[in-house]
Amino acid sequence: MSRPWSRPLERLNRWEADFVERRASLAQGRPPALLIKISALARGGGLWVVITALMAIRPGVLRRAAWDGLTAAALASGGTQVLNRVVSRPRPPAEHLPAHRALEHKPRTPSFPSSHSAVAAAFTTAATLRCPPTAVVLAPLACSIAYVRVRTRAHWPTDVVGGIALGVAIGQLVRRCTPW
């Protein structure tokens, strides 16, 4: 069954492919190993669990920020899974590119929104709203994750933007709803 947004999505995919390949000047070669490792660690939320554990060692606001972040990350992960199935956008065709081949895990699920980006944005937003100094470490990490998803052609740019928007909204919601 064709979804009502299939045709506009095809046009968007063509426009984004042209943008990424010709105008954004994103290299097609292998990305830096550190970016690939960060992306691999973020798969399944493992990176955020480790960061939560490190933050939770310290009592007080840092521990509360860790729990806010982990709660937001879990909600963002679930939200992206639902949206993936509703939108069912195919991933960029990139199997031939060294940037894509550098990924340890080749994603096969639908593309929109980027769960890596949503979880990173949700964790970062919730944690930094609770404890603003954590932004110094978390924001560059979240930005790196979002960048590498487009750089490796695992996602279209709008997948990443959509993931970030979803993550920020969930992070803000968690911060508003947590009682402590």
Report if residue 158 sits inside a domain: yes
Q: Determine what percent of the chain is predicted with pLDDT higher than 90.
A: 41
> What average pLDDT is seen over the chain?
82
Q: What is the tally of structural domains in the chain? A: 1
> Which domain does 151 fall in, by range?
29-177
Q: Per-residue pLDDT for 101 more than 70?
A: no
CB 100 within 8 A of CB 26: no
Report if residue 65 sits inside a domain: yes
Report if residue 6 sits inside a domain: no
Report if residue 36 sits inside a domain: yes
- The single-letter code of the amino acid at 1 is M
Report if residue 99 sits inside a domain: yes
Looking up tokens 């955020």 gives 48
Report if residue 73 sits inside a domain: yes
Q: What is the pLDDT of residues 34-72, one digit of tens each?
A: 877 788 788 888 899 999 999 999 889 999 999 999 999
Q: What angle do CA 34, 37, 42 make, to 5 degrees?
A: 125
pTM > 0.75: yes or no = yes
Report if residue 18 sits inside a domain: no
Report if residue 82 sits inside a domain: yes
SS3 readout for the chain? CCCCCHHHHHHHHHHHHHHHHHHCCCCCCCCCHHHHHHHHHHHHHHHHHHHHHHHHCCCCHHHHHHHHHHHHHHHHHHHHHHHHHHHCCCCCCCCCCHHHHCCCCCCCCCCCCCHHHHHHHHHHHHHHHHCHHHHHHHHHHHHHHHHHHHHCCCCCHHHHHHHHHHHHHHHHHHHHHCCC
